[in-house]
Copies of this chain bind each other. A is one copy, B any other.
Amino acid sequence: MSYSLPHMAIIECVPNVSEGRRPQIVETLLHAVRSVGGIRVLDASSDPAHNRSVITLAGDAAPLKAAVRALVGAAVEHIDLRTHTGEHPRLGAVDVVPFVPIDGVTMAQCVALAKDTAADVAARFHIPVFLYEEAASSSGRRNLEDIRRGEFEGLSARMDSPEWAPDFGPARPHPTAGAIVMGARMPLIAFNINLATNRLDVAKKIASAIRHSSGGFRFVKAMGIALDDRGIVQVSINLTNYEKTPMHRVFDAVRREAERYGVAVLESEIIGLTPQAALVSAAEHYLQLARFSSNQVLEKRLRE
Closest B residue, CB atoms, query A297: B276
B297 x A279 contact (CB < 8 A) = yes
The yes or no answer to A164 lying at the interface (CB within 8 A) is: no
B270 x A296 contact (CB < 8 A) = yes
The yes or no answer to A274 lying at the interface (CB within 8 A) is: yes
CB distance from A177 to the nearest CB of B (A): 30
Residues from chain B with a CB closer than 8 A to the CB of A194 are 290
B289 x A102 contact (CB < 8 A) = no
Residues from chain B with a CB closer than 8 A to the CB of A300 are 276, 299
The answer to whether A273 and B287 touch (CB under 8 A), given A40-B302, A42-B302, A302-B102, is: no
B287 x A282 contact (CB < 8 A) = yes
Q: Can you report 6 residue pairs joining A to B where beta carbons are below 8 Å apart?
A: A248-B286, A269-B289, A269-B292, A276-B276, A276-B298, A282-B283
Cα of A265 to Cα of B285 in the assembled complex, Å: 13
Cα of A282 to Cα of B284 in the assembled complex, Å: 9
| Chain A interface, number of residues (Cβ within 8 angstroms) | 44
CB distance from A302 to the nearest CB of B (A): 6
Further contacts, 19 of them, CB under 8 A, given A268-B289, A276-B297, A282-B286: A58-B302, A102-B298, A102-B299, A265-B288, A267-B288, A267-B289, A268-B288, A269-B290, A273-B296, A273-B297, A273-B298, A274-B296, A274-B298, A275-B298, A276-B276, A276-B299, A280-B280, A280-B283, A285-B286
The answer to whether A297 and B269 touch (CB under 8 A), given A251-B287, A279-B279, A287-B251, is: no
Closest B residue, CB atoms, query A247: B287
Number of copies: 2
Residues from chain B with a CB closer than 8 A to the CB of A284 are 279
B286 x A267 contact (CB < 8 A) = no
The interface bits of chain A over 232-251 (1 if a CB of B lies within 8 angstroms of the residue's CB, else 0) are 00000000000000011001
A299 x B103 contact (CB < 8 A) = yes
The interface bits of chain A over 161-183 (1 if a CB of B lies within 8 angstroms of the residue's CB, else 0) are 00000000000000000000000
The yes or no answer to A5 lying at the interface (CB within 8 A) is: no
Residues from chain B with a CB closer than 8 A to the CB of A274 are 296-298
The answer to whether A267 and B282 touch (CB under 8 A), given A274-B296, A275-B298, is: no
Residues from chain B with a CB closer than 8 A to the CB of A58 are 302
